[in-house]
Amino acid sequence: MNKAFAEMSAAGDRIEISFRYDPDLVTCIREVPGARFVPANEGGPMWTVPLTLESARMLNKWMGPSLVLGRAFKQWGKEAIDRERMLNDLATVDDLPADKLQIAQTMPDLAEWLRGYQRADTQFLAATSALNLNQQRLGKTPETIAAVFEAGLGDGPHLVCAPKTSLNTVWRFEVERWTAKLPKPHEVITYSGEMSQQTRANAIEEFWKCIDEEWPVWFVCTYQTVRDGAEPFMDPKEFPEGWASFTIDEFHKSGLPRASGKKDPKSNSKFALAVKEINAQRRYALSGTPMGGKPIKLWGALHFIYPRQYTSKWQWAKTWLQVNNNGYGSDIGGIQRGREDEFYRAMAPYVVRRLRSEVLPQLPPAQWIDVWCDMTPKQEKQYREFAARAETTIEELQLNAIGILAEYARLKVFADAYCAEMVNKEVNCGTCGGSGKIENEAGANTGSTVSYTCPRCLGSGKRTIQHLIPSTDSGKLEALVERLAEQGIVGKNSAGDEAEGESLAIVASQFKEVADMVHAYLNANGIKAVKITGDTKDEDRTVNQMLFREDGKRLPDDPRVIVMTTTAGGVAITLDLVENVHILDETWVPDDQEQLADRAVNTSRMHQIGVYVYRSRNTIEQQIAEANIEKGKINRDILDLRRQGFRATIVESQKNGKS
């Protein structure tokens, strides 16, 4: 093999490899994902690969003895390896004393309040932009706030993008709590599209005032605000100073998992494109359930924190994941067999991940209980009829994925309860906006547009949506009432049973209509229940929530059941007095159920949570259960088992002085 010369590019983002043409070297370089040829008229002939430790390791693996390293590349490699070691060392610290943090001087209350593992995470997050994937209820928010100060970026401004429900209850509360004693207590501005126009205008004015006066400010907004990018401070030209930190909370709910890295808005999520434009010194992406059983969903967040390193989604997928041709396109699966440890090693410098069972082993794990229910005869007859019809519709109309899911969703409602009413409602087609035609720009340069018939409504501009109204004729309802009675939650008019104890319960369904029905049924049968769905006003949501929180003021006669929709109750809600969670129907993503169950976790209270998952026998719910077991296994294997193995290796090598 000829000799090859590897040097860093002038822009500092690629490794340039030059050599006298050699077929073997070309074959080697093609093994490195993202390899590109640079022709003579652009400074070549040479090849380039992304400037990452991963690429460097692959070059070394394939071309090792033939490589001559440039001086700048050598220096970069040394620093990158030192940094990786430092981050690996930090990532394996489980307990850090408060005085080891810089903020022990400036914010002693926060440094003391943080648990040992949180201080260790703070130190790690202060050193690098990263994903914080700690399990729910382990305090990711205070860790992030502490890390920002630990990194010396406390003066801000800071941008936080989070679910609407957490803007005030989580972020405002935590930032104000920890910065109140500082010489300049931080200003927190919350912002969402649901605020009145005047309130939004005031918020913007206040933000600019803080910037002008150099007052530390946190701008906490919804994903929608960032996606629209209408505000001037989202535009790097209008706000060149940029943000000191940019955090995306619960990023699995944002558009990041759908990011493709492409510039074309038609093939990338708008949210991912918008965050790319925002200029920030430090970036954090937070989620306790980041993957939903699909490791590719991590790429968007990695691209968000290090866009120059994680440049191509497909390149990343082909490096680490199983990519199969399904005849129509490519399917991305789990981690390539045999590369799991390498994968975690590559991720470790950018990820913090801890489980409750690791840091709080004294906390009993939630007990998941399957409740298999028989449908009532009427319910079963209806289910079978619609199942047969759905099968025919899917086959005959060759529905796309969305259509198939809609059919499945309908079946799930029938598996919940007999639907006495089905209301057909004609609505404007969302795809074409009711016009029946879709206009598309023919070319960026010509500016001309072409229009074609909307494939969703076939040009009519209208679509019929069928609303299913579930009745109380349900096999699950009976099982639910039985379980509630076992927990001492009974109606005043229940014959024989007496209300006992103080245990509280969450009852959740994916469907608002089912939640409404259960809520009405429980109240009608003397079991006092409150409700949180997408329709619940903010004030009512807070009031209802406080009845089930340790820091709320409960009276003995207050409702003992809170009925919720899985999505409305999934994030940013604390219901830590609850002891049992009843999930009436699972979604296709096991993380949704986990998020819901974690609402009841209280890390300072030793209590066992029971999670009851209700499924109707011989229905679609059986398939969902099987799919979720598989997805859950991928989540555990990738996020946890391999990580634990990797940590054990690092800790062992540290003990042996090899780190």
Partner 1 sequence: MTILGKKENISVLEISRTLMPDTTYEAVVLELWLGDRSDLATQVDRYFLLYEPEAMGEHLYIEKSYSGWELALAENASNTYRRASQVPGVVLWDMIAKVKESDRDALNHQASEANMLNPEYRRYGYDGKRNERYEAFLNAIDTLADDYDDEAAWADVDAFRRIYAEQHEK
Q: Which residues contact partner 1 by CB under 8 A?
A: 3-5, 7, 10, 18-21, 23, 26-27, 30, 36-37, 39-40, 42-45, 47, 66, 68, 70-71
* Cβ partners under 8 Å of residue 452, min gap 6: 437, 438, 440
- Cβ 71 to partner 1 shortest distance, Å: 8
- Cβ 321 to partner 1 shortest distance, Å: 24
Q: Please, what is the Cα angle at 324 between 322 and 327, to 5 degrees?
A: 165
- Cβ 86 to partner 1 shortest distance, Å: 27
Distance CA 234, CA 226 (A): 7
Distance CA 98, CA 108 (A): 8
- Cβ 72 to partner 1 shortest distance, Å: 10
**Cβ nearer to partner 1, comparing 65 with 240:** 65
Distance CA 214, CA 157 (A): 9
**Cβ nearer to partner 1, comparing 44 with 185:** 44
Query: What's the count of helices (H) and strands (E) in the chain, helices before strands?
Result: 25, 24
DSSP state of 364: P
For residue 14, is it left (φ>0), alpha (ψ between -120 and 50) or beta?
A: beta
Q: What is 257-271 written as a DSSP string?
A: GG----S-GGGS-HH
**Cβ nearer to partner 1, comparing 62 with 408:** 62
243-280 burial, b for 16+ CB within 10 Å, e for fewer? bbbbbbbbbbbbbbbebbbeeeeeebbbbbbbbeebeb
**Cβ nearer to partner 1, comparing 46 with 291:** 46
Q: Which two tokens stand for residue 41?
A: 């008229």
- Cβ 322 to partner 1 shortest distance, Å: 25
**Cβ nearer to partner 1, comparing 68 with 427:** 68
**Cβ nearer to partner 1, comparing 36 with 100:** 36
**Cβ nearer to partner 1, comparing 68 with 543:** 68
**Cβ nearer to partner 1, comparing 40 with 495:** 40
CA distances from 633 to 179, 364, 628 (A): 41, 21, 8
73-107 burial, b for 16+ CB within 10 Å, e for fewer? beebbeeeeeeeeebbebbbbeebeeeebbbbeeb
- Cβ 27 to partner 1 shortest distance, Å: 6
- Cβ 63 to partner 1 shortest distance, Å: 12
* Nearest one of 475, 603, 456 to 135, comparing CA atoms: 603
Distance CA 299, CA 3 (A): 35
Q: Which runs of consecutive H residues, i.e. helices, occur in 398-474?
A: 401-416
Distance CA 634, CA 80 (A): 30
- Cβ 4 to partner 1 shortest distance, Å: 7
* Nearest one of 425, 2, 567 to 17, comparing CA atoms: 2
- Cβ 430 to partner 1 shortest distance, Å: 43
**Cβ nearer to partner 1, comparing 63 with 159:** 63
- Cβ 68 to partner 1 shortest distance, Å: 5
- Cβ 19 to partner 1 shortest distance, Å: 7
Q: What is 94-141 written as a DSSP string?
A: ----GGGSTHHHH-HHHHHHS-HHHHHHHHHHHHS-EEE-PPTTS-HH
- Cβ 45 to partner 1 shortest distance, Å: 4
Distance CA 222, CA 190 (A): 9
- Cβ 56 to partner 1 shortest distance, Å: 18
One-letter amino acid of 615: R
Q: How many CB atoms lie within 10 A of CB 622?
A: 14
**Cβ nearer to partner 1, comparing 31 with 421:** 31
**Cβ nearer to partner 1, comparing 78 with 184:** 78
Phi, psi of 359 (to 5 degrees): -95, -25
- Cβ 26 to partner 1 shortest distance, Å: 5
**Cβ nearer to partner 1, comparing 66 with 136:** 66
**Cβ nearer to partner 1, comparing 10 with 369:** 10
**Cβ nearer to partner 1, comparing 36 with 209:** 36
* Maximum separation of any 2 CA atoms in the chain, in Å: 91
- Cβ 43 to partner 1 shortest distance, Å: 4
* Cβ partners under 8 Å of residue 619, min gap 6: 375, 383, 387, 411, 414, 415
DSSP H or E run through 504: strand 504-509
**Cβ nearer to partner 1, comparing 18 with 319:** 18
Task: Please tell me whether residue 514 adopts helix, strand or coil conformation.
Answer: helix
- Cβ 316 to partner 1 shortest distance, Å: 21
Distance CA 159, CA 153 (A): 12
Task: Please tell me whether residue 246 adopts helix, strand or coil conformation.
Answer: strand
**Cβ nearer to partner 1, comparing 23 with 447:** 23
